[in-house]
């Protein structure tokens, strides 16, 4: 079993925190999509790439909102 690091999430997230989370999700989904592609899990890779794209958009949006 893989243990993920615990992160504290504020009750009222700031735009800076939202951008940080979005960048983190973007990084993770990039790595996971590459893993899925390398093992020919094409549909899963596609879904992860869509999640990466969505996270990237949120990171940019929250960066400009700050």
Residue 34's pLDDT band (boundaries 50, 70, 90)? very high
Query: Per the domain annotation, does 10 fall within a domain?
Result: no
User: What pLDDT shows up at residue 18?
Assistant: 87
What 11-16 contacts at long range (C-beta under 8 Å, 24+ apart), as own/partner pairs, is 15/62, 15/65, 15/66, 16/62, 16/66
pLDDT band at residue 25 under the 50/70/90 scheme: very high
* Domain residue limits at 26: 15-65
Structure confidence by residue, pLDDT tens digits, 41-63 = 999 999 999 999 999 999 998 76
The verdict on residue 1 lying in a domain is no
Q: What is the pLDDT of residue 16?
A: 83
What's the chain look like in SS3? CCCCCCCCCCCCCCHHHHHHHHHHHHHHHHHHHHHHHHCCCHHHHHHHHHHHHHHHHHHHHHHHHC
Domain count of the fold of the chain: 1
């Amino acid at each position: 079993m893989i243990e993920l690091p615990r992160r504290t999430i504020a009750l009222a997230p700031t735009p800076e925190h939202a951008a940080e989370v979005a960048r983190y999700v973007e990084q993770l989904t990039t790595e996971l999509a590459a893993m899925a592609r390398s093992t020919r899990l094409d549909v899963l890779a596609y879904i992860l790439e869509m999640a990466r794209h969505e996270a990237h958009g949120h990171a940019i949006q929250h960066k400009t909102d700050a």
